[in-house]
Amino acid sequence: MAIDKRKVVYQIYPKSFKDTTGSGTGDLNGVTEKLPYLKELGIDMIWLNPFYPSPQRDNGYDVADYTAVNPDFGTMADFEAMVARGKELGIDFMLDMVLNHCSTDHEWFQKALAGDEYYQDFFILRDEPTDWVSKFGGNAWAPFGDTGKYYLHLFDVTQADLNWRNPRVREELFKVVKFWQDKGVKGFRFDVINLIGKDEVLEDCPINDGKPAYTDRPITHDYLHELNQASFGQDDSFMTVGEMSATTVENCILYTAPEREELSMAFNFHHLKVDYQDGQKWTIMDFDFEALRSLFHTWGVGMSEGNGWNALFYNNHDQPRALNRFVDIKRFRNEGATMLAASIHLSRGTPYIYMGEEIGMIDPDYDSMADYVDVESLNAYQIMLDEGKTPEEAFKIIQAKSRDNSRIPMQWDASDNAGFTTGTPWLKAGKSYKEINVAKEKEGVIFTFYQDLIKLRKELPIIAEGDYQAAFSTHDKVYAFERFLNDDKLLVLNNFFAEDVELDIPEPYQGGQVLISNYDTASIGERLTLQPYQTLAILGQ
């Protein structure tokens, strides 16, 4: 199951991409309309966040029907037209599969609640709840109607975990995957897929809110192999990625090593917790560069040596914009955006671009809690107030960490609502759209740099296929790595700070060819000054 390592994926949050009806919600026809723009960027595949029928308690990750289109996003005919147009342009689609849990509105849960024992075994029901904590805060168990039992919900109370130990559940979920495969889809992103293998006997686990009791359990590998063999594993061109919550290098090698026939690649999130004070998301601190550098090297080297494959990213629908987190955007937005891009696009793994990243979009800078809609943010705000923070302190943290930061409308132009909708957007546009938008940025520094990076991955096997080794691994300002393929070698230098850095260049790269840089750099001598947020890739002699 060898994937094409030259491919680049673009993530679209459909609700916020382009609205063609004036409803204020993005739709599938909006994606179709903008496919030529994405063709120009150079991407190969689009990952779409969920567009299935859903009460939208968790922005579509609470699925009420796995094989239909939410009318807010259009029709199945719109979906089929979008896939067909993509095929014409050489762009495939990857769908989000939320198979760890479903909405309590789903027919399966409703039948279970009505007393159907067949469907009650689709869920994880217990007489006594454990001490596990929901990832959205509070108890991970809720009363199952008036039966005296409790059902497990690792996320929102309306998201009931599915019982993968029941073979009939697996059979039903595999049918869902096959349904979309038959519609011409060529990829799947599996949401929190390393949580599906709960222990048979569920016990209290006070460590880390109970996570060790349900994360990366050995049986998960068996389930993924079974899923692979029952569906996408029969198609060599298929691309799959697992979102892995609180995972390890060792497990991700197992999930992604081709001979194991589980998944093509894995997302991990450790590098996006380097600005969490004491590991807590709802805090504010400067990012810890040494932790970031160390994590990149640990995963880069580990996955390279173990023949696993990383999905590489800084931004997605659950994260604040990386530019706000890692870069002095007031002075160096262009340089910071291009450096961050090169630091993953030139690395070993498949790069993912989140919509708007290619034009340097930033957080919305909202004025009040009334602007936020995300359930996690609203819950966190209340919890922080209950813990004694002032409204001002709590709001400042929400501003920095809310998932709504990335879910704001795509900034197409400087017209009202950033050209996203003619109606009232479901989530307010960010303040920056008049200055930062596609119309203005398409000929600009960031967009064209992304185009160049995507071309390089397609043209140079060392970028797509080469091994990864750490370089300058103790430097306090520079994240650097080398790539090796046969006799070729490439050194990539990334200055993560707003100041000049002096470096001694290793001998094989002195006089080497500058492959790409976000500053004018002529020749490479024995010593080099990296400018603020400079990225520089040098082909060795």
pLDDT digit string, tens, across residues 380-434? 999 999 999 999 999 999 999 999 999 999 999 999 999 999 999 999 999 999 9
For residue 301, what pLDDT band results from cuts at 50, 70 and 90? very high
Token pair, residue 223, equals 């389930």
* 371 within some domain: yes
Q: Averaged over 424-452, what is the pLDDT? A: 97
- Whether 243 is catalytic is yes
Do 78 and 2 fall into the same domain?
yes
Q: Examine the pLDDT at 492 and tell me if it is beyond 90.
A: yes
* 330 within some domain: yes
Domain extent for 390: 365-407
- Whether 259 is catalytic is no
State the catalytic residue, choosing from 191, 262, 275, 374.
Answer: 191
State the catalytic residue, choosing from 58, 243, 376, 441.
Answer: 243
Secondary structure of 354-392 in the HEC alphabet?
ECCHHHCCCCCCCCCHHHCCCHHHHHHHHHHHHCCCCHH
DSSP 159-196: EEEB-TTSHHHHHHHHHHHHHHHHTT--EEEETTGGGS
* 346 within some domain: yes
Do 21 and 132 fall into the same domain?
no
Q: Averaged over 455-479, what is the pLDDT? A: 97
pLDDT tens for residues 144-192? 999 999 999 999 999 999 999 999 999 999 999 999 999 999 999 999 9
Token pair, residue 442, equals 């398409």
Token pair, residue 346, equals 């030139």
What's the half-sphere exposure (Cβ side, CA atoms, 13 Å) at 417? 20
* Nearest residue to 154 via CA among 204, 211, 105, 208: 211
Do 206 and 263 fall into the same domain?
yes
Do 345 and 415 fall into the same domain?
yes
Phi-psi region of 210 (alpha: psi -120 to 50; beta: other; left: phi over 0): left
* 290 within some domain: no
Do 454 and 314 fall into the same domain?
yes
Q: Examine the pLDDT at 375 and tell me if it is beyond 90.
A: no
Burial class (CB in 10 A: 0-12, 13-18, 19+), 241: buried
**What's the pLDDT at 87?**
98
Q: Examine the pLDDT at 263 and tell me if it is beyond 80.
A: yes
Q: Examine the pLDDT at 455 and tell me if it is beyond 90.
A: yes
Exposure string over 291-308, b if 16+ CB within 10 A, otherwise e:
ebbbbbbebbbbbbeeeb
> What percent of the chain is predicted at pLDDT more than 90?
96
Q: Examine the pLDDT at 339 and tell me if it is beyond 70.
A: yes
Token pair, residue 529, equals 């000054």
**What's the pLDDT at 160?**
98
Do 12 and 89 fall into the same domain?
yes
* 131 within some domain: yes
Q: Averaged over 345-351, what is the pLDDT? A: 98
* 288 within some domain: no
CATH for 432: 3.20.20.80
* 171 within some domain: yes
**What's the pLDDT at 1?**
52
Do 318 and 451 fall into the same domain?
yes
Do 427 and 511 fall into the same domain?
no
For residue 376, what pLDDT band results from cuts at 50, 70 and 90? confident
* 297 within some domain: no
Task: Among 140, 161, 182, give the residue marking a domain's end.
Answer: 161
CATH for 150: 3.90.400.10
For residue 541, what pLDDT band results from cuts at 50, 70 and 90? confident
Residues 6+ apart with CB under 8 A from 64: 52, 53, 54, 55, 102, 103, 105, 106
3-state SS assignment for residue 9: strand
Do 402 and 420 fall into the same domain?
no
**What's the pLDDT at 417?**
98
Token pair, residue 459, equals 């043209």
Task: Among 237, 268, 299, give the residue marking a domain's end.
Answer: 268
Do 400 and 527 fall into the same domain?
no
**What's the pLDDT at 236?**
85
Q: Averaged over 289-316, what is the pLDDT? A: 97
Do 329 and 455 fall into the same domain?
yes
3-state SS assignment for residue 150: strand
For residue 137, what pLDDT band results from cuts at 50, 70 and 90? confident
Do 221 and 143 fall into the same domain?
no
pLDDT tens for residues 208-233? 999 999 999 999 999 999 999 999 99
CATH for 506: 2.60.40.1180
Domains in the chain: how many in total?
A: 5
